[in-house]
Structure 1
Amino acid sequence: MHTDARALAAALLPLVGGAANVRSAAHCVTRLRLALADRSRVDEAALRALPGVLGVVEDGESYQIVLGPGVVGRVTAEFERLLPSPAPAAPPPVTTAAELAARGAQLKERRKRRNATPGKAALRRVADVFVPLIPALIGCGILAGVAGLLANLGWLPALTPALSALASAFMALIAVFVGHNTAREFGGTPVLGGAVAAVVVYPGVAEVTAFGAALTPGQGGVLGALAAALLGTYVEKWCRARFPGTLDVLLTPTLTVLVSGLVTLYVLMYAAGQVASAIGTAATWLLGHTGALAGLLLGGLFLPLVMLGLHQALIPLHTTLIEQQGHTVLLPLLAMAGAGQVGAAAAVYVRLRHDTSLRTTIRSALPAGLLGVGEPLIYGVSLPLGRPFLTACAGGAAGGAFVGAFAMRGAEVGATAIGPSGWALFPLLAGDAGPAVAAAVYGGGLLTGYAVGFLATYCFGLNGTAGVPVGAVCDPEGHEPRPADRPGPRPAPPR
């Protein structure tokens, strides 16, 4: 397995322009994320055709290669070994005023093009704050589900408190990690961001009064931590631009923590707490009054968010709902998108029974899809084919509408932690009507998503030539696509 990862990493490096073109490498659950010096040096056609590569995503900040869960961590480790150690920064070359002006104009134009969609860029940056936290969120979420299951069954009573402590410790201090990552993402000192955000969860804030009421430790949650660290970053930058070296060492960190901390205590924690309460109230109202419609929209639109890499921006909402209500009602609805994707992939597998390569891809990606990791199926199956991506969205919409309709009848389904979806979400389910009802409703939603995704794809996703793979044609009767190089009669041209 390590040999395969090493070989894949070695094959990837020249296709992205070589080691000199790679500024940094990191990974999330399924993607190798690269910061490249010159994207024109990437051989994207060869990259997409490389065995093991499930897709490529290019956004404003990074070049992302979809490798799939489990694989991406090993390949990233081998890829980083192929990169040279960073050399000490060289002093800037002496240039003329005209050269500096020309370079500044180029940078300004490049930044203008990159920031053409401010909303999308902001969502990506927020997502990048939380992406490094996903492994801990998944691990703690699964431990929380196991602890809850053991408590309900009455098994291992001596071990259950230990598991609960392990699962809860990270969530209790998540504000510190959010602050650390926010400062790093927005150009501040990470430890100062963590220090400013730590006040949100410090027990001593209960002695502070803001807007006529005592603060509560954790008030505002990750939203307050995000705002506090962002403010701290701007205060730090302001200070560093004005203080000389000696004073900078002493005054900048002091003023950063002081100014940002006071504003956090007396303004941001209260404001973020109000926003968090509003999010919980809005989610409850939407599911109680428009559950089927809300589920249809959320389940149907989640795959495009995954395709764009913006789905991680929803993590603050999930975390806020867990803090407010004990579970997030959004995650089970969004998980229906994965069900539609699995159903669509199964239909492609049945219809294209002679396409050995595609069927092999589907077989390798389906286990991850059943566990809610949909990117291998998106970039390896549905998106390249075209129409199956839309029919997969239809399956997700149907599953979301099913779960949302039961929420309108008092059978709300939520997840007690952020973690895997698909069938792996069952241990994390909770609801007002009890875990058994929550599991039944969620399971019914998955089956609905599978069925609708399968039928929509089987009947509409591969008809004609618009939704078939490149290099394939339909048979003379317009049935199953046939590879172009397979011998056999071709339809006569129209007269």
Structure 2
Amino acid sequence: MNYKDIAEKIVPLLGGKENIISATHCATRLRLVLQDESKADKAEIEEVEGVKGAFASSGQFQIIFGTGNVNKVYEQLQPMIGKMDVDSVSHAEAVKQKMNPFARFAKTLSNIFVPIIPAIVASGLLMGLLGMMKAFEWVSTDSPFIVLLDMFSSAAFIILPILIGVSASREFGANPYLGAVIGGILTHPVLQNPWGLAEAKPEYLNFAGMDIAMLGYQGTVIPILLAVYVMSKIEKGLRKIVPNSIDLLVTPFLTIISTGFIALIAIGPLGRGLGTLITTTLTYVYDTAGFMAGLIFGGTYSLIVLTGVHHSFHAIEAGLLADLGKNYLLPIWSMANVAQGGAGLAVFFMTKRAKTKEIALPGAFSAFLGITEPVIFGVNLRYRKPFIGGMIGGALGGAYVVFTNVTANAYGLTGIPMIAIVAPFGTSAIMNYLIGFVIAVAGAFIATLLLGLKEDETK
């Protein structure tokens, strides 16, 4: 590919460099914030060599190039649009300015939880390995290796408030190390770890006439989010009034002491109650609606992906892991993702266009690995009916995994890689997950064949 030539073709199709506010890229997509998205010629952009799809979502116009190509196009694009000084922070702010309040809130949650995914996935995989070692008796149960592996696998969940504290502080514009300290306060060893408390009642500390439960917030989500948000407001307010000469001493001190008291007295108990309410409500719907919940959630999840709001679900999933020790939502999302791959596979066999075939097959296998953007935006949504076929397959697969109670012990992995975080729940869980996988893919494939494909339908 001639990456410079590709960049030169794209700029005018985006409405010219004056229409581009900022630009960045992820692993597969060029992400741009445009002054006026209506000036972007999506159809012509998709005909440019190397482009596998283009779409507007969540305040950004995104062009799919694929791994290895997108960074090279970006390198050529930067000097052409004069946005050499744009960093990820300023780009994120530009994205938020283009969003409505609800989308902005969802984007905020996404920005907080997505960076934590590697730690959660690693812990989930370690738990899977630990579970298999115990189940198949690879080593004795009192082996030092088992003890160490148990420490490694549970660490991320125990210090989750610290991880969130760092990530949330960055998102809210506060000092990330102060956020880590607030997370450390909420998980301090003096506070009883609720994971091992069972039915015992916590001790209480009487402070200024108030009883503070000496109960920690290990593994919780909402308390630290609220605490860091309040902390960011306090810190920013102090920096406006504290003289620069004593800022280093006074601002962190007052920020931590005030936020610490507020967190333990008010925010912590309130956040724990909200988290428990969300978990209880979702579990009630899950248990009461049964497979219908999977049918509805699995069928509509792909629509949610179009908005970009789906990343905000990580906060809910982290709460489920903290309260229940399992994530029953992720298998449903996985069925929706792989179903879009099944629909894309059907398009590969049905289409007569060489460019569509070029995108459909790798896009389908990418979806089977949990990355759906190439097949959704590059193929299925382009022809509409395959996208509907994917929704049908996702609904069928979602209904099955709910009916068979398939769960995971982490979040962030879907498709084939998710088998590793389903494994700790036993062989039957793996088998039912794979059966659901097949149902979702086959259901989407057949539904897409029945719905048909019109090659001239490019909206």
TM-score bin, normalised by smaller chain = 0.7 to 0.9
Of the three residues 422, 431, 443, the one matched with 1:440 is: 431
CA deviation vs aligned residue, 1:432-486 (integer Å, no higher than 9, x gap): xx52222232222222212221121111142xx4x75549xxxxxxxxxxxxxxx
The residue type equivalent to 2:162 in the other structure is: V
Q: CA RMSD in A?
A: 3.7
Corresponding position of 2:89: none
Cα distance between partner residues in 1 of 2:178 and 2:314: 23
Note the C-alpha offset of 1:24: 6.5
Confirm whether residue 184 of structure 1 aligns to residue 170 of structure 2. yes
Note the C-alpha offset of 1:367: 2.2
Change (3 A) 1:64 1:171: farther
Map 1:230-241 onto structure 2 (within 5 A): 230-241=229-240
Structure 1 or 2, whichever has the larger Rg, is 1
Are the counterparts in 2 of residues 130 and 178 from structure 1 also a CA contact under 8 Å? yes
Change (3 A) 1:37 1:137: farther
The residue type equivalent to 1:362 in the other structure is: A
Cα distance between partner residues in 2 of 1:415 and 1:86: 42
The residue type equivalent to 2:448 in the other structure is: T
CA deviation vs aligned residue, 1:264-303 (integer Å, no higher than 9, x gap): 1111221222222223322332222111121112101111
The residue type equivalent to 2:414 in the other structure is: S
Change (3 A) 1:389 1:322: same
The residue type equivalent to 1:457 in the other structure is: T
Corresponding position of 2:184: 198
Note the C-alpha offset of 1:197: 2.8
Are the counterparts in 1 of residues 204 and 211 from structure 2 also a CA contact under 8 Å? no
SS state at 1:293 partner: helix
Note the C-alpha offset of 1:39: 7.2
Of the three residues 385, 398, 401, the one matched with 1:403 is: 401
Corresponding position of 2:91: none
Q: Which has the higher contact order (CA 8 A, sep 6+)?
A: 2
Cα distance between partner residues in 1 of 2:274 and 2:394: 29
Are the counterparts in 2 of residues 23 and 37 from structure 1 also a CA contact under 8 Å? no
Note the C-alpha offset of 1:18: 7.0
Of the three residues 445, 449, 454, the one matched with 1:454 is: 445
The residue type equivalent to 1:333 in the other structure is: I
Corresponding position of 2:369: 371
SS state at 1:25 partner: strand
Unaligned runs of 5+ in 2: 87-93, 193-202
The residue type equivalent to 2:245 in the other structure is: T
Change (3 A) 1:111 1:148: closer
The residue type equivalent to 1:200 in the other structure is: L
The residue type equivalent to 1:128 in the other structure is: N
Change (3 A) 1:324 1:13: farther
Change (3 A) 1:296 1:13: farther
Corresponding position of 2:90: none
Note the C-alpha offset of 1:81: 9.7
Per mean C-alpha deviation after superposition, the further-off stretch among 271-280 and 222-231 is 271-280
Using structure 2 for the length normalisation, give the TM-score: 0.80
Per mean C-alpha deviation after superposition, the further-off stretch among 178-187 and 325-334 is 178-187
The count of corresponding residues between Structure 1 and Structure 2 is 430
Cα distance between partner residues in 1 of 2:163 and 2:144: 30
Corresponding position of 1:155: 138
CA deviation vs aligned residue, 1:151-200 (integer Å, no higher than 9, x gap): 32223666555544444333332322322222222222332233223322
Confirm whether residue 254 of structure 1 aligns to residue 253 of structure 2. yes
Cα distance between partner residues in 1 of 2:59 and 2:426: 41
Corresponding position of 1:488: none
Corresponding position of 1:124: 107
Change (3 A) 1:197 1:49: farther
Note the C-alpha offset of 1:326: 1.3
The residue type equivalent to 2:113 in the other structure is: F
Corresponding position of 1:476: none
Note the C-alpha offset of 1:214: 2.7
